[in-house]
Amino acid sequence: MAINVRDTRIAVMGAGAVGSYFGGMFARGGARVTLIGRPAHVDAIRASKLFLDTVTFQERIAIDASNEVSAVRDAQFVLLCVKTLDTEKAAQALAPCLSPGAILISMQNGVDNVARIRAATGIDALPAVVYIAAALPEPGHVKHSGRGELIFGEYANPASGRTKAIPNRPEIVAELCATAGIPCRVSPYIEADQWTKMLMNCAGNAVTAIAQTSFAHAARNLQSREVMRAVIDECVAVARASGVQLPDVDWTEKGVKNAESLGEATSSTAQDIARGKLTEIDSLNGYIVRRGKELGLPVPVNLTLYALVKLIEESAAKRARPVTGSA
């Protein structure tokens, strides 16, 4: 199946920074893209197009935008970019509208979205791993500050009874990306690739969120560096015990180096906390805690980080209260 981005119909469900960036890139390549997102973002795009403010170009992109899930109708590809908090809700909302033969791609953090989508709707989504630094500083404006590549692949051990309606999905989607100029690759080990990003997220997101600081600072501080290493050790143990074929590399070293390389950027989790929003922590350190319990593996550092982010989420609303001191 030869595919070209020109006139391909694509919908982005959950057009925040990541979804709007990739939707915008596909539209720039000639696809007919609809971004489904929040009213303020949709209104801004309808009024003044999508402003793609990237490290290599700034451009206003003509693109459709909608508040309605029904806009996924007719799309050949649907990029699911909602936060992992909303995976089931979004999948259930779009399921009745999804064209037969459409490919639903989970562009989300974490390692269990495809399973959750299947459990909620029966739909077999294609897993993708996304590496990008991007933000929405204001409605209609995507600020891209680094990377922007994708990895696609089918799981080696699909759930039993699962049928794939479309063969070669990763190759089809990769070809689409290639014609749109989006760097990507097809991986025979997508589960390991998802876990690779998961390790980095688990190591850096909660720590930077809790301290409201940058990845580089968290990696530089001797104590938090040790915590990041301990998180990764716990996550690698959980991954291996779950049967994930992680390459045999020094993950703790890799994790710290990765955080250093991210410099003064901070995590999406840190941004959520700063804005008083719920985070994806249940899909990151929280997932490790649940799996650790199932597997009988102790994950005390992940537990601590998870608990603190949950407590901070809860207490954000209570910050204004007067407090009395205790020695």
Closest separation between CB of residue 324 and a second copy, Å? 4
**Dist CA 228 CA 155 (whole Å):** 28
Q: Which is nearer to a second copy, 83 or 116 (CB)?
A: 83
Closest separation between CB of residue 146 and a second copy, Å? 8
Q: Which is nearer to a second copy, 3 or 85 (CB)?
A: 85
Q: Which is nearer to a second copy, 97 or 151 (CB)?
A: 151
Query: 284 and 110 in contact (C-beta within 8 Å)?
Result: yes
Query: 271 and 204 in contact (C-beta within 8 Å)?
Result: no
The CA radius of gyration of the chain, in Å to the nearest whole number, is: 20
Q: Which is nearer to a second copy, 166 or 311 (CB)?
A: 311
Interface residue list for a second copy (CB under 8 A): 17-18, 109, 130-135, 143, 145-146, 207, 210-215, 217-218, 221, 223-224, 226-227, 230, 262, 264-268, 270-271, 300-301, 303-308, 310-312, 314-315, 318-319, 321, 323-327
Query: 232 and 255 in contact (C-beta within 8 Å)?
Result: yes
What type of residue sits at position 288? Answer: I
**Residue 197 CA neighbour count, 13 Å, CB half:** 22
Closest separation between CB of residue 302 and a second copy, Å? 9
Closest separation between CB of residue 68 and a second copy, Å? 25
CA distances from 42 to 34, 48, 67, 109 (A): 10, 10, 7, 24
Residue 246: name the closest of 190, 166, 182, 303 by CA.
190
Q: Which is nearer to a second copy, 176 or 231 (CB)?
A: 231
Query: 112 and 85 in contact (C-beta within 8 Å)?
Result: no
**Dist CA 52 CA 181 (whole Å):** 15
Closest separation between CB of residue 50 and a second copy, Å? 17
Closest separation between CB of residue 147 and a second copy, Å? 8
Query: Tokens representing 7?
Result: 């006139």
Q: Which is nearer to a second copy, 7 or 321 (CB)?
A: 321
Query: 104 and 116 in contact (C-beta within 8 Å)?
Result: no
